[in-house]
Amino acid sequence: MTTAKPRTIVIGAGIVGASVAYHLARRGAPVTLIDKGKPAGAVTGKAFAWINVAHGLPEPYSQLRHLAVQDWRRLEQELERPLPIDWCGALTWNRDPADTERLVREHAAWGYDIRLVERPEIARLEPNLTEPPAIAAFAASEAAVDPVAATTILADAARRAGAELRLETEVGALATKSGKISGIRTRDGIVSADRVVIAAGIEAPALCRTIDLALPVETSPALLLRFKTAGRLVNRILTGPVMEVRQASPVQLLAAEDYVDAAGENGPEAIAQRTLAAVRRHLRAAEGTTLESVSVGLRPMPADGLPIVGAGGVEGLYLAVMHAGVTLAPLVGRLAASEILDGVEVRMLESCRLARFSRA
């Protein structure tokens, strides 16, 4: 006798929620993907969208990130529509060359495709760099993706696999019955479900408070800058002491910057102008580059910086809230679907459980 798959609502049509919905629907589960806006309408649409392993992470999370990069390859082969992903690789360097060397040793120990490159090779890889560093870390297998297009493709793939999309529908609260999740409350009433997945980014804590669950997630703003260029300035993702940039199209350069203040000399516009000056100074043929837009993305940041994935302490509730959602989305979507539908806990996600905060 076949056990019926749980009716699941996924709150949040960013790239993580769309991935969870797709992987559930692909396995035949009845799924509703719900969002108060459109796919990628919140922080996903303002992401720099560098698919990478990052540096200086705790070992279990570092391993998760390594596998997540590979999972983008799996997703690319699996989807019917081509993903807008560029496996261009990334060059990273620090002010102190010793830090760059440590980065390479750390990831090479995992068998990751990364190596040290010296100034002559860097100049060949990126001929527009006016001052190539002495050494850099070259991760050839890293990539960038158009996060809005990728999310739209995932949401559409979920729909074609049987998922229902309810867009421009705000969730006011979680619904419970006899101490278990029973669905969600919207303006039009209760939508029943056996499972609810919260992948709603910075709105996740407020949703959890409706059932008296404290979710240790804060809002971490970041800047995404778009520049118009006369042509291609860089071939890869470049991240160094003065700028973090990638080419989104032959005539558009993206830059990621830390958010400092709402206005003034450290406001978004001022930072954008300083970044523009750095681009013009450090990249040849960038003299005519102009600023197109400055966006503030409000990232969900768990208190310890690591993802929160798994059961939410109330039967029927599953959490998928994290920074680096673009990198992790395919892997987290696949593993979350396995946990929800197979009723097992995936060991790979052990370091991501909400319960770790109660043990601290």
For the chain, the 3-state helix, strand and coil shares in percent, each to the nearest 5, are: 35, 30, 35
pLDDT tens-digit readout, 106-164: 888 878 889 999 999 999 999 999 999 999 999 999 999 999 999 999 999 999 999 99
Axis-axis angle for helices 59-78, 97-108 (nearest 10): 70
Average pLDDT over residues 25-50: 97
Answer yes or no: is pLDDT of 3 > 80.
no
Identity (one letter) of the amino acid at 268? P
Query: Is 12 in a helix, a strand, or coil?
Result: coil
Identity (one letter) of the amino acid at 200? A
Instruction: Give the pLDDT of residue 360.
Output: 54
Average pLDDT over residues 239-265: 97
Residue 1: pLDDT band by 50, 70, 90 thresholds? very low
| Mean pLDDT, the chain, whole residue set | 95
Average pLDDT over residues 228-249: 97
Give the integer Cα–Cα distance in Å for 227 and 241.
Answer: 19
Answer yes or no: is pLDDT of 2 > 60.
no
Q: What percent of the chain has pLDDT over 90?
A: 92
Instruction: Give the pLDDT of residue 227.
Output: 98
Q: The tokens of 175 are what?
A: 């619904």
Q: Which residues contact 327 (CB under 8 A, 6 or more apart)?
A: 50, 51, 52, 65, 68, 69
Closest CA to 215 of 230, 228, 202: 202
Q: What global pTM score does this model have? A: 0.96
